[in-house]
Amino acid sequence: MAEIGGQMINARAVQLSAEIISNKKVGAYHHMVFAVGEVAANCRPGNFVAISVGGASSSLVLRRAFAIYRASLRSDGMGLLELVIAPQGSGSKWLVAQEPGDRVDLIAPLGTAFGIPKEPINALLVGGGYGSAPLFSLAETLKARGCRVDMVLGASTAGKIYAPLEGKRSVNSLTITTDDGSAGIAGRVSDVLPNLIAEHEVDVIYSCGPMAMLEAITLISQKADVLHQCSVEESMACGIGVCMTCVLPVEGDDGVIRMTRSCVEGPVMDGNKVLWNKSREIPDGVWGK
C-alpha cells in the first residue's frame, strides 16, 4: 500500500506549443481558443491544462492551471481547446494579453474527469465564478446520455457569471445567484441548492468553484444524501504530480485519509471524501502524521 499509489498522470497528457486562435473579453473573463491538434479528442469534462506564463524572460517560474471549458476536434482535423480566464495576478494577466497568432506552451489534458453515469440520472451542476467553465461541456455529455441537467451559477456580481448562450441551451434550467443581487437571486448558490435538489430529484451534484463553496455544497449533499463530484482548486506548482504542493486530506477507498495530490488524483474528487474543514491543517488520523 504505497501512499502515492496506482494513480498516475493522465495517460493522454501531451506537452505542445499551442497557437492562440482567438481571445475575447466576455464580462469579467477572457474566452480564449487554442489550436492543439488531436489532443482535443482526448480531453474530458473536468480535465485541466497547465500553461507556461510570462514569456522568454519571465520571472514567473510556475505553470498556471486552467479548467477546460470545451474541446473539439473539427472534421478538418483542427483541434480546438477553449478556456475561460479570469485576469487576476501576473500570470493570468499575461495570458489574456496574448494575441491570436501568439503561441503558448501547454500541457493537456491533465487530471481526472467528471464521472459520467451509465444510467440517465438527474444531475445538478453548480459553478462559482469561472468555475462554470468545465460545466457546460459536462452538461452536453450528460444530456447526450439522457440525463436531466439543471444548473446553478453563482458569483459576487453579474459580470462574473460566465454563462454563454450556447451553453445555456444544453441545460434544462439555469438558476443564477449573485452576492450583490445584480443578476438572478441575491445570495449564494448554497441558499438555492436544497430546494433545487428536492424539486428536480437530483441524484448527483457536479460542482466547480472556490473551495469554500465546495465545502458548503458537500454539507448540503451529505444531508440530502446525493453524490457530489467536485473539481477542487489547490495551488499547483507542477500540475503533473511531482511536487506535492497541491494536496488535500482525502479519505481513500480503504478508509485511510491521505494528503492527496489534486493534480493527479483530482481535480475532480468525491466531495464527501474530502476533509474540508481540515483542509488547512493535517487532521488527526492522516496517514503519516
Partner 1 sequence: MSINFSTSISGAFFANPIFTASGCAGSGKELSHFFPLTSLGAVVTKSIMIKPRSGRATPRMAETPSGMLNSIGLQGPGIDLFLENDIPWLREQGARIIVSIAGESVEDYAVLARKLRNVAGISALEVNISCPNVENRGQVFACNPDTASAAIAAVRRNIGGELPIIAKLSPDVTDITTIAESVISAGADGLALINTLLGMVIDTTSMAPKLSQKTGGLSGPAIRPIAVRAIYQVRAAFPKIPIVGMGGVTNGRDAFELVLAGANAVSIGTATFGNPMAAMTIKNELEELCEARGFTSFSDAVSYAHRVEA
* Residue number, 176 or 237, with CB nearest to ligand FES: 237
Residues in contact with ligand FAD by the rule CB under 6 A: 48, 62, 64-67, 83-86, 88-92, 130, 133, 233-236, 267
Greatest distance between any 2 Cα atoms in the chain: 55
Q: Which helix (H) or strand (E) holds 134?
A: helix 133-144
**Do the beta carbons of residue 108 and residue 81 sit within 8 Å?**
yes
* Residue number, 230 or 246, with CB nearest to ligand FES: 246
* Distance between CA atoms of residues 124 and 208, nearest Å: 12
Q: Which helix (H) or strand (E) holds 20?
A: strand 14-26
CB of 262 to ligand FES, least distance (A): 6
C-alpha of 69 from chain center: 8
Determine whether 225 is exposed, middle or buried from the number of CB atoms within 10 Å of its CB (0-12, 13-18, 19+). exposed
Of a second copy, ligand FAD, partner 1, none, which one sits near residue 259, judging by CB under 5 to 8 A according to partner kind? Answer: partner 1
**Using the rule CB under 6 A, is 250 a contact of ligand FES?**
no
**Using the rule CB under 6 A, is 246 a contact of ligand FES?**
yes
* Distance between CA atoms of residues 134 and 66, nearest Å: 10
**Using the rule CB under 8 A, is 93 a contact of a second copy?**
yes
CB of 14 to ligand FES, least distance (A): 18
**Do the beta carbons of residue 167 and residue 139 sit within 8 Å?**
yes
Stretch that binds ligand FES, among 35-43, 89-97, 176-184, 240-248 (CB under 6 A): 240-248
Cis omega (within 30 of 0) for bond into 109:
yes
Binding mask 55-84 for a second copy (x = CB under 8 A): xxxxxx------------------------
Of partner 1, a second copy, ligand FES, none, which one sits near residue 75, judging by CB under 5 to 8 A according to partner kind? Answer: none
**Residue ranges in contact with a second copy by CB under 8 A:** 53-60, 90-91, 93-94
